[in-house]
Amino acid sequence: MAREITGFSNPLVKRLRSLRDKKHRRAEGLFLAEGLRILTEAADAGALPEILVYVDRPDLPPLARQLIARTEAAGGDVVTTGADILAKMSGKDNPGILLGAYADRGTALEAIDRTAAPIWIVAERLRDPGNLGTILRTGDAVGAGGLILVDDCVDPFSVEAVRASMGALFTQAIVQTRWEDFLPWLRSGPGTLVGTSLRTDTDYQAIAYPRPTFILVGNEAQGLPADKEAACDHLVRMPMLGRADSLNAAVATAVMAYEVLNQHRRQVKHA
């Protein structure tokens, strides 16, 4: 049975609002996701919120009621409140009707089974939460195993990144690690590391991509540092026929991921 919160001073309001801050997310082991679509995608991927807050109203969609029932059945804390209090919790003027607090979904590098997927995406010093969310969506679309975030990347569990992922956060393994740990791990088993760079003449369609392929994309403004380029098995670039000299990091990742996917599809077709 859902309990009701009617006042802004309720401790849960402060607690959930604090999860917008990385420090509190780490301390609590929780992060926020908002909106019916993202929470439904999460449930379809097998993830239910630890805490679910919703605005009760007569036109509450059936999917929302199903999600509430599933959360209650799983022992989650279900709370009903007003739209103004939900907005206070989420920090968004128009947060919709649902807000969920989920257990941290971070994965240790050593727990990754690299053979579980033919494609993995690796991002180095990625700073924009929109790019991170879009890359997660691309990973989901191409059947990637997950996203490995190297060095000082934006927090994948920030509200902005979760929102941009449109639920893909719940279908992809997410690893946060350091380069000095990632590279030895990569070289300890199968896997080809392919970096995107402007400092190469190799066309991205000119090489064969084995399974698993690790696509490495660099910082939005600076690209990959020289030492990380040197560690790649291949450096490739996409043709730029206009005035722009490079693609957005998320767009470049999508182009690369679909090239790898299409090569793998052709291999299966001709096998």
Residues 6+ apart with CB under 8 A from 251: none
Using DSSP's 3-state secondary structure scheme, residue 212 falls into: coil
pLDDT tens digit string along 191-210? 999 999 989 999 999 999 99
Using DSSP's 3-state secondary structure scheme, residue 143 falls into: coil
To the nearest whole percent, how much of the chain has pLDDT over 70? 98
H runs (alpha helix) in the chain: 11-18, 22-28, 36-44, 62-73, 83-90, 129-142, 159-165, 179-187, 226-230, 249-270
pLDDT tens digit string along 96-107? 789 999 999 999
What are the beta bridge partners of residue 196? 236
- Quick count: other Cβ atoms within 10 Å of Cβ 201? 8
Q: Which two tokens stand for residue 149?
A: 């975030």
**Can you spell out the DSSP letters for 19-38?**
TTSHHHHHHHTEEEEESHHH
Please report the pLDDT score of residue 95 as a whole number.
63
- Superfamily of domain 109-270 in the CATH hierarchy: SPOUT methyltransferase, trefoil knot domain (3.40.1280.10)
pLDDT tens digit string along 24-35? 999 999 999 999
Using DSSP's 3-state secondary structure scheme, residue 137 falls into: helix
pLDDT tens digit string along 109-137? 999 999 999 999 999 999 999 999 999 99
pLDDT tens digit string along 208-263? 999 999 999 999 989 999 999 999 999 999 887 887 766 789 999 999 999 999 99
Please report the pLDDT score of residue 215 as a whole number.
98
The CATH classification of domain 3-103, taken from the options 3.40.50.720, 3.40.50.300, 3.30.70.270, 3.30.1330.30: 3.30.1330.30
Please report the pLDDT score of residue 269 as a whole number.
73
Q: Where are the domains of the chain?
A: 3-103, 109-270
Please report the pLDDT score of residue 271 as a whole number.
61
Residue 170 near residue 221, CB atoms below 8 Å = no
